[in-house]
Amino acid sequence: MRNLAEKWPAAPDWATATLSKSSVGMRTFGGLNQLLVSGDLAAWSKASGLAGEGFGAGAIASGDRYMVRIARDRVLAVAEQPFPIAAGWHAAGFAVTAMDAGLHVFEIEGPNLDRLIARGTALDPGAASRSASILFAGVGVLFYRFGNPHRARLHVDRGLAPYLWELLGQVQVL
């Protein structure tokens, strides 16, 4: 049988791969616990201890536990340590799905971050949105800033991470 993998470039070693382009650097950010939460978000907040609506595109998240807003009734809960809430349906009215293996996280940082964002999406780099879900370079991602205005995180489907990595390696940030 023909090996169809030969026509695709090999995925980089995510543990060591870095990109640097015109005052913007990019790397994989691993080790985060990611839970997709759907349903009654007020009940989720009460059970998890995470308050708020979650951060949208362009908003600045911080801390070791936070939520990224996807839709009216859906967030991605992100933490450096595992959450004490099990995956599955909860009688309080919300469902939890572990996304650690499904979403790859890139961290992009540098003074030209806004120029890179402008190259990848129609989103105004200076504006914030309620939802972090955007199209970036034709791929659906969750985008938000983390810690400061010059650092962003992109959560992308793991299967599309090599494509996005290769594309960003070819982008010229002016």
Cβ-proximal residues to 171 (8 Å cutoff; 6+ apart), any chain: 21, 116, 119, 120
Give the residue from 78, 76, 95, 79 showing the smallest Cα distance to 87. 95
pLDDT at 127 exceeding the cut of 90: no
Give the residue from 34, 173, 11 showing the smallest Cα distance to 105. 34
Residue 16 CA, chain-centre distance (Å), reads: 19
Q: pLDDT > 90: what percent of the chain? A: 64
pLDDT at 10 exceeding the cut of 80: no
The reported pTM is: 0.92
Q: Report how far residue 72's alpha carbon sits from residue 35's, in angstroms, rounded to the nearest whole number.
A: 16
pLDDT score at 3: 79
For the chain, give the mean pLDDT: 90
pLDDT score at 169: 82
From residue 156, alpha-carbon distances to 41, 47, 105, 133, 159 in Å are: 22, 27, 6, 10, 8
pLDDT at 174 exceeding the cut of 60: no
What are the domain boundaries of the chain?
18-30+102-170, 33-98
pLDDT in tens, 68-102: 999 999 999 999 999 999 999 999 999 999 999 99
CATH number of 18-30+102-170: 3.30.1360.120
User: Tokens 């009460």 appear where?
Assistant: 46
pLDDT in tens, 99-124: 999 999 999 999 989 888 888 888 88
